[in-house]
């Protein structure tokens, strides 16, 4: 089984070069200026050939919420978005807090056979914040990290224990940072626009307090920690200074936090409702700075598909979340690279090598001998985002009508074309 990707520009975090890529039996066997081989060929003339994109924060909703998404529809959406590998959050029903659910997801991954799926196990049983989940057994079954995503573990002593256990098993906690009491039912960022809209706001402090707490725990215990979906300028500062002190902290953000501000909430479009909420321009600018200086290590989607009925209700009642996996690359390319904030190799690093490194996943590199997980993109292709056309069951995007550059041409996983061509 051979596949040749010809005439493209190969991009890695180290730089760009014109090269052909030959794949044999799922492994990249040769990268050279010209490779001659009589086999199936993808013509990548004028296109860019990237290491397969990796998203370490998605919600696939299965088991339990298949009306919103399932492992098959989510995987189809992932490869359509150029992702060869994802990590799925445990806020399913039942919660992925034990080895059986982890194994079920791994089984579904092999059945669906599109992108690689790495389950994230819950930190606490039922994500209820009171008792630790079966960390060791979940790791054995294939969990790559732990999170109670959707909420914070409010009890700091339980969080401490979890972080110690997790590190003992070589796993990281992925922290959704939100002080539940301080959020107190807020649905948007607290500020001028929440006042104007008459919607209950949530302070930056609600996020920052938990970012600080989790960093304090990681620092005191000398264990690693990963901060999810950073949305505040102050959170970026907290992480930056922790990194300077040598704390083992990594962090992610999402396209909506470096593109949108809470000006959009006055439309009452429930597709703008996401947790943490989109904030103000100084937050947006600081997040871009954080991406540029490496404070924010990687870009994730927090792909949170919801059914129409979960969003077609009044703002206060609508579900939090954005279906983001099909727009992440184009939005990131358009708003970070075309604007000059990041180079293309830097963006590629934040969407493949870094996420792999953070969770010690195999992948995220395009070199001879590596698994052939590859994404081919057409950076000149311009299109208008239309959520109705998403492959995902979740059509919930605040980016309808946005004109972006960067179409996914082809997604290759272990040498097999899973999308395009
Ligand atoms: O907006 C969000 N949606 N934030 C979360 O933390 C959870 C997610 C979901 O599961 O829908
Ligand atoms: Zn979250
Ligand atoms: Zn999430």
Give the tens place of pLDDT for each residue, 100-128. Answer: 999 999 999 999 999 999 999 999 999 99
Strand partners of residue 226: 174, 250
Which atom from ligand 1 is nearest to the alpha carbon of 59?
A: 10
Q: Does the model's pTM come out above 0.85?
A: yes
Average pLDDT, stretch 31-53? 97
Say whether the peptide bond before residue 63 is cis (omega within 30 degrees of 0): yes
The preferred substitution site among 153, 177, 274, 278 for testing ligand 1, maximizing ligand atoms within 8 Å of CB, is 274
Tell me, in angstroms, the distance from the centre of ligand 3 to residue 192's CA: 26
Quick one: tokens of 318? 């609508």
Average pLDDT, stretch 300-329? 98
The pLDDT value given to residue 181: 98
99 lines ligand 1 (CB under 6 A): no
pLDDT for residue 402 is more than 90: yes
pLDDT for residue 399 is more than 90: yes
The pLDDT value given to residue 70: 98
Tell me, in angstroms, the distance from the centre of ligand 2 to residue 50's CA: 27
The pLDDT value given to residue 175: 98
The contacts of residue 155 (CB under 8 Å, 6+ apart) are 129, 130
* 181 labelled catalytic: no
Quick one: tokens of 46? 């004028």
Average pLDDT, stretch 123-145? 98
pLDDT for residue 321 is more than 90: yes
Quick one: tokens of 29? 């066997």
Which atom from ligand 1 is nearest to the alpha carbon of 273?
A: 1
Quick one: tokens of 305? 């598909």
Residue nearest atom 3 of ligand 1, based on CA coordinates: 321
Which atom from ligand 1 is nearest to the alpha carbon of 150?
A: 6
Average pLDDT, stretch 179-205? 98
149 lines ligand 1 (CB under 6 A): yes
Tell me, in angstroms, the distance from the centre of ligand 3 to residue 175's CA: 10
273 lines ligand 1 (CB under 6 A): no
Q: Find the ligand nearest to 177 CA.
A: 2
Tell me, in angstroms, the distance from the centre of ligand 1 to residue 274's CA: 7
Quick one: tokens of 377? 């993109």
The pLDDT value given to residue 421: 82
Burial (0-12, 13-18, 19+ Cβ within 10 Å), 195: exposed
CA 261, CA 398: separation in Å to the nearest integer?
11
The contacts of residue 117 (CB under 8 Å, 6+ apart) are 60, 71, 75, 85, 86, 87, 88, 105, 106, 108, 109
% pLDDT > 90, the chain? 99
Residue nearest atom 9 of ligand 1, based on CA coordinates: 304
Strand partners of residue 227: 175, 251
pLDDT for residue 170 is more than 90: yes
% pLDDT > 70, the chain? 100
The pLDDT value given to residue 349: 98
Tell me, in angstroms, the distance from the centre of ligand 2 to residue 150's CA: 4
Average pLDDT, stretch 271-296? 98
Catalytic one of 55, 283, 302, 310? 302
pLDDT for residue 419 is more than 90: yes
């Amino acid at each position: 089984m051979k596949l040749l990707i010809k005439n493209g520009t190969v991009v890695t975090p180290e730089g760009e070069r014109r090269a052909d890529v030959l794949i044999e039996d799922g492994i990249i066997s040769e990268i050279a200026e010209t490779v001659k081989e009589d086999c199936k060929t993808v013509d990548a003339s004028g296109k860019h050939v990237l290491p397969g994109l990796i998203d370490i924060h998605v919600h696939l909703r299965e088991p339990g919420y298949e009306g919103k998404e399932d492992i098959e529809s989510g995987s189809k959406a992932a490869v359509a978005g150029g992702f060869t590998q994802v990590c799925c959050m445990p806020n399913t029903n039942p919660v992925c807090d034990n080895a059986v659910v982890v194994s079920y997801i791994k089984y579904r991954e092999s059945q669906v056979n599109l992108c690689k799926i790495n389950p994230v196990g819950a930190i606490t049983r039922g994500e209820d914040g009171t008792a630790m989940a079966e960390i060791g057994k979940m790791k054995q079954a294939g969990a790559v990290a732990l999170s109670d995503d959707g909420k914070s573990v409010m009890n700091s002593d339980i969080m401490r224990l979890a972080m110690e256990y997790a590190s003992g098993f070589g796993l990281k906690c992925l922290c959704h940072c939100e002080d539940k009491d301080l959020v107190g039912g807020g649905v948007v960022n607290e500020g001028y626009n929440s006042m104007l809209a008459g919607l209950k706001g949530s302070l930056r402090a609600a996020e920052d307090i938990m970012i600080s707490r989790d960093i304090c725990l990681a620092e005191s215990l000398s264990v690693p920690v990963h901060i999810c979906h950073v949305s505040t300028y102050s959170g970026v500062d907290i992480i930056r200074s922790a990194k300077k002190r040598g704390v083992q902290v990594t962090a992610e953000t999402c396209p909506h936090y470096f593109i949108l501000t809470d000006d959009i909430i006055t439309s009452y479009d429930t597709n703008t409702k996401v947790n943490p909420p989109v904030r103000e321009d100084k937050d947006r600018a600081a997040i871009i700075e954080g991406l540029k200086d490496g404070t924010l290590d990687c870009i994730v989607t927090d792909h949170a598909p919801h059914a129409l009925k979960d969003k077609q209700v009044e703002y206060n009642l609508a579900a939090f979340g954005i279906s983001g996996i099909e727009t992440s690359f184009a939005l990131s390319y358009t708003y970070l690279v075309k604007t000059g904030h990041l180079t293309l190799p830097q963006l590629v690093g934040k969407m493949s090598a870094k996420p792999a490194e953070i969770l010690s996943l195999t992948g995220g590199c395009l070199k001879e001998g590596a698994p052939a997980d590859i994404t081919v993109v057409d950076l000149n292709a311009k299109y208008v985002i239309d959520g109705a056309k998403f492959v995902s069951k979740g059509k919930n995007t605040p980016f309808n009508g946005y004109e972006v550059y960067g179409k996914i041409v082809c997604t290759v996983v272990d040498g097999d074309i899973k999308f395009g061509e």
